[in-house]
């Protein structure tokens, strides 16, 4: 059997988009496929972690061996994450909607001849920043993602500080890259001591390499 360096560790992974209702039939969402987050859940499980995957709607099968908590809105994602604590590891790979509609309608909005409605937006909770807050329940290792177009490492380094997480996986989503929805990803792993550039590889390979780095963080090689 493969070694299980993360046996006994609890991991929380967020994945997919969030879906924010406008009214009972309409919503605001985004193009996240969930491929990277689901692959990370599966890779952590393969190394022996007990994994809870909190995910927005995707077309992906549930990763084997993981507890899957399906949610729609950012607020539901935050509540599901908080109820999955305590955890040793949190990886926030979800594309959480930054805004939701303020005062969503409980009836379908009508074309009443008065012209299109205007939607007022309000800010969603930041799940990564919330999980990163220091306190007794904070996971020992909190990992976020940063999708940037240009100055990827600089922006992601600033984001790491702003969010208060331990590591950031930064990827370039400039036009011409196929990160969103595609199979491959080109990432940089940003930790307190600097950035590591990884070659372009499949999202499964990024997940496996990230899970290995997490396992090494918890079981550092003993000094000679
Ligand atoms: O601020 P930005 O959206 O670029 O940050 C991306 C990182 O923050 C990702 O890890 C994402 O999962 C997380 N995030 C979150 N909750 C939000 C917004 C982003 O967990 N409301």
- Give residue 180's pLDDT: 66
Give CA–CA dist 6/113, Å, rounded.
60
Give CA–CA dist 49/71, Å, rounded.
22
pTM of the model: 0.95
Report the half-sphere exposure of 177 (CA within 13 A, side-chain side). Answer: 16
Give CA–CA dist 190/16, Å, rounded.
22
**ipTM of the shown complex:** 0.98
**DSSP 8-state code for residue 32:** -
35 is in an annotated binding site: no
Residue of 127, 164, 172 best suited for mutating to test ligand 1, as the one with most atoms within 8 Å of CB: 127
SS3 content of the chain, % helix, strand, coil (to 5): 25, 25, 45
Q: How many CB atoms lie within 10 A of CB 69?
A: 18
**Using one digit for the tens of pLDDT, what is the confidence trace for 6-29?**
999 999 999 999 999 999 999 999
Residue 74 Cβ contacting ligand 1 at under 6 Å:
yes
Residue 124 Cβ contacting ligand 1 at under 6 Å:
yes
Active site residue 185: no
Give CA–CA dist 219/191, Å, rounded.
17
**Using one digit for the tens of pLDDT, what is the confidence trace for 140-176?**
999 999 999 889 999 999 999 999 999 999 998 877 7
Q: Select the more confidently predicted residue: 224 or 99.
A: 99
Query: How much is the average pLDDT of 191-203?
Result: 95
Query: How much is the average pLDDT of 54-70?
Result: 98
Query: How much is the average pLDDT of 73-95?
Result: 98
Give CA–CA dist 204/187, Å, rounded.
13
Give CA–CA dist 98/170, Å, rounded.
18
Of how many residues is the chain composed?
224
**DSSP 8-state code for residue 129:** H
Query: Residue 181 — pLDDT band, cuts 50, 70, 90?
Result: low
145 is in an annotated binding site: yes
């Amino acid at each position: 059997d493969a070694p299980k360096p993360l046996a006994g560790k609890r991991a929380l992974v967020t994945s997919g988009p969030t879906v924010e209702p406008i009214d009972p039939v309409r919503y605001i969402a985004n193009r996240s496929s969930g491929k990277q987050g689901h692959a990370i859940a599966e890779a952590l499980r393969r190394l022996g972690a007990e994994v809870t995957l909190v995910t927005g709607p995707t077309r992906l099968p549930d990763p084997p061996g993981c507890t899957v908590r399906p949610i729609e809105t950012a607020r539901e994602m935050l509540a599901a994450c908080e109820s999955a604590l305590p955890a040793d590891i949190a990886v926030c790979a979800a594309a959480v909607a930054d805004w939701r509609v303020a005062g969503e309608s409980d009836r379908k909005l009508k074309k009443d001849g008065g012209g299109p409605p205007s939607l007022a937006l309000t800010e969603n909770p930041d799940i990564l920043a919330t999980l990163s807050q220091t306190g007794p329940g904070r996971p020992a290792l909190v990992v976020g993602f940063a999708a940037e177009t240009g100055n990827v490492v600089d922006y992601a380094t600033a984001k790491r500080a702003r969010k208060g997480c331990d590591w950031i996986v930064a990827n370039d989503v400039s036009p011409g890259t196929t990160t969103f929805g595609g199979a491959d990803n080109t990432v940089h792993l940003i930790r307190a001591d600097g950035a590591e550039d990884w070659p372009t590889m499949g999202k499964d390979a990024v997940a496996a390499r990230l899970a290995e780095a997490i396992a090494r963080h918890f079981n550092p090689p003993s000094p000679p």
